[in-house]
Structure 1
Amino acid sequence: MAFRLKFTHDPHNVHVQVPDLRPATIYARFSSEFPDALTPTSMTAAALTLRWLDSDGDWIEIRRDDKDFEQILLQVVNKNGMVHIQSGFTSGADEPTQLGTLMHRYERVMDSFDHLSRTVVKLPPISNILIVTKPDPKLSKLTKELSVWVLETFPGITLFVDKKLQGRSSFKYQEILDQNPSWNDRLQFWTKDCQACKEKQIHLAVTLGGDGTVLYTTWMFQKRVPPIVAFHLGSLGFLTNFCFDSYRPTLSNIIRGEGMNLNIRMRLQCSVYKYKEGPNIYSPLQQQPDQMLPINGLDVHSTNVAPMTTLTSSSATAGDSDDSDGDDEEELRRQRVESRQKAEILRRVKEMDSKRGTEVMDLGICHGKGQTLITRVPTPSTRPDGISGISIGVGEAGGEEVIRPTDTWQVLNEVTIDRGSNANMLQLELFVDGNHVTTILADGLVIATATGSTAYSLSIGGSLIHPDKNSVIISPIAPHSLTARPMIIPGTKHLRVCVPASSRTTAWASFDGRHRQELGKGDSIMITASRYPATTICRRDQSTDWFTGLTQVLNWNSRVLQKPLESHL
């Protein structure tokens, strides 16, 4: 028996028949129909990924080890007569979605979001707890009190406490061991250097301090963040919902597996890319411009020009007018090639920003007003016809290069780009999904999450955003335009902030107030939604905790009420 399938690998479609519906058979047939799918030219090397279209209009990934996939797909074939399968590198735009399907999908997404915010969650068994304490001598005694109580009450729990507390007299580590020598193995100490190897071992994080302590805890985990229960022992306490006096019932309910509400806070992944000066790839003694290699295998021009010959003594005796004409022709050829290359690079930058977002490729030109923002050192390659040239692209084959970020951070509050100690105004180029949005002339720019909307972004006039909303707020700092107002965009967008070559000053960037570094002309920061959110445990629920913090901590819209009119009579 043969089964009909429709294969799509952008932009081509083909109808095939297969003897069975096993994942291995489908992958093998798809690879034979589209051999280029195994080595995508627009991305780095990646394994082939296929998706199939279900009855709700959703694309579902085909897992190679899925044992139930054959039966599921058989039911779809019997019902519809055919199944549509596409590669993971296409967007599905070739197959228009019905309006009814789209509206049904929207309703399901809205119901899912509403259900997510109200879901009561039960944490998995907890055996390792991390305690992060604000560096205050008074809190060392409270950390000891909390540690001793957990060790006595829950024999299966191992605590990780700050290494700095081990030698402090207020913590009295030796006194704890004298009380029970068996606690020596269950009371461990963490440092910033060894915390990375313990990320997967920590099941719960307890913070004793203020909002800064919570930020520091999330910063320690640059990947998966364990659930955080924050006790208010700091100054402000917008993120610390629990009172330390009630730590016993609070932690007892959590450790024993009682249901609770969680606040899943989106974080931003910020990747810094540094400018590198490249060689003059248009030097006549090195390379003829019209013989440049195609970019990622695509010809950037179709003009065939004979190779330029080396100047001889006879040619050197030609008149000045001949030299001038030759220089003009050479300049025109160079401009044509450069124009076509910029157009191709522009297209690939847009494709990169809209589909990948987390990596900036070796592209040479950052589009937008023709300003050279990122220049990379191209590697020599050889065309099939033996002509040497320059290749600008990605991957390892063919002498191509991939540019990687110098630093990548996951931030909970905001990334701040400012002019630092420079007296001049800062110029920044803002791109969203590869499209140039605006040129910002200001003292700086703050790009914050919903959690960070009540921090630095709020102080410069930004809006308040509920933490349940996965949005990003872009707020200029002292802009040189009255119409430059804070802007809220979806968290799924890919942002890039560049310091253009025309900027009079350099910029300075900080991530949640840490790792402050200078951004020179041509440097850029790619900002996307992180795959690793920060999870905090709610005292009541998301909305109640947030609005309570607005009124009690920030005193939002607090003022003396008007007296009734009859009070003056």
Structure 2
Amino acid sequence: MGSSTILKLTHFHHSTHVQVEDLHPSTIIARFIKEFPECLDPSPVLRWLDGDGEWIEIRPDDLDLEEVLKQVMERDGIIHIQSGDITGVFEPTDLGTLMKRYEKVMDLFDNLSRTVVKLPPISNILIVTKPDRKLTKLTKELSIWLLENFPGITVYVDRRLQEQSTFKYHKILERNPAWKDRLQFWTLECHKQSGKLIHLAIALGGDGTVLYTTWMFQNRVPPIVAFHLGSLGFLTNFDFKHFRPIMTNILRGEGMNLNIRMRLQCSVYKFSDIADSLCDGTKALSLDDTAATSSADGNLEAGASSESENEDDHRREIAESKTRVKIIRQFKEMDSKGGAEVADLGVCHEQGHTLIRRSPKPYPEESTTPTDSWQVLNEVTVDRGSNAGMLQLELFVDGSPVTTILADGLVIATATGSTAYSLSIGGSLIHPDKNSIIISPIAPHSLTARPMIISGTKRLRVCVPASSRTTAWASFDGRHRQELGRGDSVMITASKYPATTICRFDQSIDWFTGLSQVLNWNSRVQQKPLDSHL
């Protein structure tokens, strides 16, 4: 190719045209770094523009890239290479391209909810239930039926059932000793190590059992078939009386509809407090000074004692002030949209408004390690706990400050969780195929603080500000409850590991049926016609 190969290289708002000898990925990356040495650390993510306006990442190990780019070169006469990050490139997108992408996304989501899915071959089935006598008997009945009718399947049940008299493990083996290898018992620790081996999960119970099943899988969640045996069954669509034909259809690979439920990834970031060390140093210094003064003169005057107390208060105020400053500085570093910098591109000559362009940088929280991180199906709750006073929380969306909330707490729920805690505090109902997040304040101090629905692609942060009078408490699907001190925050983003449940009919029919039968939604005595009294 030689000099005929022309590349347009773009880094942020700087572009240049160069000639290269070949189109090998290593050649392109090396030339890009040569032209823009400032992007050497960290190593840039490069993409090339295809004919449909899509930016495709250049991978160093892509053996077919050179041939593909040759075809692009023959068609367009030039190849556009752009730097970017994991979310995409920095160059503005054409309006026409954006609208085409929107149409594709809408068609994709519409087809996704209507797609009939055939599950891959199933070898390992996990049965999750509570250690209740009645449920134990049903688990035994289901396990024996699976072992008898599907010889290639291994069944995993809770280790606690092995010793229960109602499960009668030894009698099951007497029935068929070969089942010993196919009937396995799991503990939570064993499951964490081998959770990827499970191909299908069966939940026997209520909605809480389904939540527990999804919580067990903090990464990939296998398809879940949920049988209604609890007090509420909004997530449990199937009647256990008909488990035989239901499981037969599933295990024989019959087509079915799936409900892909978005989960939230919630990460807790703890503030590294310096107040304790400063205050401890102040206290130690105060004690040393007092001891030295006492040994020198046994009769301390009241004025000297008062002066010493004032100095201690002053030192304590300095320590607390430094802590508040450090918290505020930490928040400012995390509050811009991905650490975005604003660069002037021009001025609107009529109104004098400055045009800005955001240049994304790595998120600060991505370079730090959270203390805890959980995948949540229903909601994350931040409340005042045992504190008598009102809670103060700051809410940020995509790094931008939205509001300061004075309330008893805040519930951030998925569409699945919209019919749970969020609904009980006045939140809206959201169809499960909507990747949305609902933010519902708990007993807010302002009457205008109403629930709000936002896109599930947004990045949320809930933090306890330095000026808060009390600490907060956070829980994730009702688990892992922990205290949030001043400066602590919870980062909430859409998880890349959704929970997949098998539909009885389809998403909409199952959901509206649940609203009617479980929640008695809009249930009332029908109005009589006007002529009914005649």
Q: Which residue of 2 aligns with 1:12?
A: 14
For residue 88 of structure 1, give the secondary structure of its aligned residue in structure 2: strand
d(CA) in 2 for partners of 1:81, 1:38? 28
Q: Which residue of 1 aligns with 2:306?
A: none
Change (3 A) 1:356 1:118: farther
2:92 to 59, 76, 96: 96
CA deviation profile, 1:372-427 (whole Å, cap 9, x unmatched):
xxxxxxxxxxxxxxxxxxxxxxxxxxxxxx53211001000000011111111000
Q: Which residue of 2 aligns with 1:560?
A: 525
2:227 to 220, 228, 231: 231
For residue 240 of structure 1, give the secondary structure of its aligned residue in structure 2: coil
Kept after mapping to 2: 8 A contact 1:462/1:473: yes
Change (3 A) 1:73 1:559: same
* Match status 1:352 vs 2:332: no
Q: Which residue of 1 aligns with 2:67?
A: 71
Query: What is the Cα deviation at residue 273 of structure 1?
Result: 0.9
Q: Which residue of 2 aligns with 1:30?
A: 32
* Match status 1:221 vs 2:226: no
Q: Which residue of 1 aligns with 2:244?
A: 248
Pairs within 5 Å for 1:216-365:
216-278=212-274, 346=332, 349-352=335-338, 360=365
* Match status 1:136 vs 2:132: yes
Which one-letter code corresponds to 1:16 in the other structure? V
Identical-pair percentage: 72
Change (3 A) 1:343 1:222: closer
For residue 481 of structure 2, give the secondary structure of its aligned residue in structure 1: strand
d(CA) in 2 for partners of 1:241, 1:342? 48
For residue 484 of structure 1, give the secondary structure of its aligned residue in structure 2: coil
Q: Which residue of 2 aligns with 1:60?
A: 56
Q: Which residue of 2 aligns with 1:478?
A: 443
Change (3 A) 1:210 1:94: closer
Mean CA deviation greater in 229-238 or 66-75: 66-75
Query: What is the Cα deviation at residue 453 of structure 1?
Result: 0.3
Q: Which residue of 1 aligns with 2:295?
A: none
1:461 to 398, 414, 426: 426
d(CA) in 2 for partners of 1:347, 1:359? 7
Query: What is the Cα deviation at residue 79 of structure 1?
Result: 1.6
CA deviation profile, 1:472-525 (whole Å, cap 9, x unmatched):
000000000011000001011111001112111111110000011111111110
User: TM-score, with normalisation over the residues of structure 1?
Assistant: 0.78
Kept after mapping to 2: 8 A contact 1:38/1:48: yes
Change (3 A) 1:471 1:120: same
Kept after mapping to 1: 8 A contact 2:376/2:477: yes
Query: What is the Cα deviation at residue 251 of structure 1?
Result: 1.2
d(CA) in 2 for partners of 1:96, 1:188? 55
1:192 to 188, 192, 196: 188
d(CA) in 2 for partners of 1:7, 1:276? 42
Q: Which residue of 2 aligns with 1:388?
A: none
Q: Which residue of 1 aligns with 2:394?
A: 429
Change (3 A) 1:12 1:89: farther
Q: Which residue of 2 aligns with 1:535?
A: 500
Query: What is the Cα deviation at residue 91 of structure 1?
Result: 6.6
Which one-letter code corresponds to 2:145 in the other structure? W
Which one-letter code corresponds to 2:365 in the other structure? V
Query: What is the Cα deviation at residue 359 of structure 1?
Result: 5.7
Query: What is the Cα deviation at residue 343 of structure 1?
Result: 9.1
d(CA) in 2 for partners of 1:441, 1:504? 11
Which one-letter code corresponds to 1:128 in the other structure? N
Change (3 A) 1:201 1:146: same
Change (3 A) 1:150 1:348: closer
* Match status 1:110 vs 2:96: no
Aligned length in residues: 468
For residue 116 of structure 2, give the secondary structure of its aligned residue in structure 1: coil
Kept after mapping to 1: 8 A contact 2:474/2:481: yes
d(CA) in 2 for partners of 1:206, 1:90? 36
Which one-letter code corresponds to 2:384 in the other structure? R
Query: What is the Cα deviation at residue 12 of structure 1?
Result: 2.9
Which one-letter code corresponds to 2:132 in the other structure? D
Which one-letter code corresponds to 2:133 in the other structure? P
Query: What is the Cα deviation at residue 344 of structure 1?
Result: 11
d(CA) in 2 for partners of 1:535, 1:485? 30
Query: What is the Cα deviation at residue 48 of structure 1?
Result: 4.3
1:550 to 502, 515, 519: 515
d(CA) in 1 for partners of 2:375, 2:502? 20
Q: Give 1 or 2: higher strand fraction.
A: 2
For residue 178 of structure 2, give the secondary structure of its aligned residue in structure 1: helix
Kept after mapping to 1: 8 A contact 2:55/2:89: no
Kept after mapping to 2: 8 A contact 1:232/1:244: yes
Change (3 A) 1:81 1:348: farther
d(CA) in 2 for partners of 1:422, 1:348? 28
d(CA) in 1 for partners of 2:136, 2:373? 33
For residue 197 of structure 2, give the secondary structure of its aligned residue in structure 1: coil
Q: Which residue of 1 aligns with 2:377?
A: 412
Gaps of 5+ in 2: 277-323, 341-359
d(CA) in 2 for partners of 1:551, 1:185? 44
Change (3 A) 1:113 1:91: closer
Q: Which residue of 1 aligns with 2:313?
A: none
Tell me how large the CA RMSD over aligned residues is: 2.5
d(CA) in 1 for partners of 2:193, 2:147? 23
Query: What is the Cα deviation at residue 544 of structure 1?
Result: 0.8
CA deviation profile, 1:423-454 (whole Å, cap 9, x unmatched):
11000000111111000000000000000000
For residue 496 of structure 2, give the secondary structure of its aligned residue in structure 1: coil
Kept after mapping to 2: 8 A contact 1:352/1:360: no
Which one-letter code corresponds to 2:374 in the other structure? W
Which one-letter code corresponds to 2:481 in the other structure? R
2:473 to 501, 508, 531: 508
Q: Which residue of 2 aligns with 1:394?
A: none
Query: What is the Cα deviation at residue 357 of structure 1?
Result: 8.8
Query: What is the Cα deviation at residue 353 of structure 1?
Result: 6.3
For residue 516 of structure 2, give the secondary structure of its aligned residue in structure 1: helix
CA deviation profile, 1:288-339 (whole Å, cap 9, x unmatched):
xxxxxxxxxxxxxxxxxxxxxxxxxxxxxxxxxxxxxxxxxxxxxxxxxx99
User: TM-score, with normalisation over the residues of structure 2?
Assistant: 0.83
The ranges of structure 1 where at least 4 consecutive aligned residues each deviate by more than 3 angstroms after the TM superposition are 90-96, 341-349, 353-359
* Match status 1:499 vs 2:475: no
d(CA) in 2 for partners of 1:91, 1:127? 37
Pairs within 5 Å for 1:156-167:
156-167=152-163
d(CA) in 1 for partners of 2:495, 2:75? 39
d(CA) in 1 for partners of 2:205, 2:364? 36
Query: What is the Cα deviation at residue 215 of structure 1?
Result: 0.1
Which one-letter code corresponds to 2:427 in the other structure? G
CA deviation profile, 1:201-259 (whole Å, cap 9, x unmatched):
11100010000000000000111111100011111100000111111111111111111
Query: What is the Cα deviation at residue 56 of structure 1?
Result: 1.9
d(CA) in 2 for partners of 1:538, 1:198? 26
Q: Give 1 or 2: higher helix fraction.
A: 2
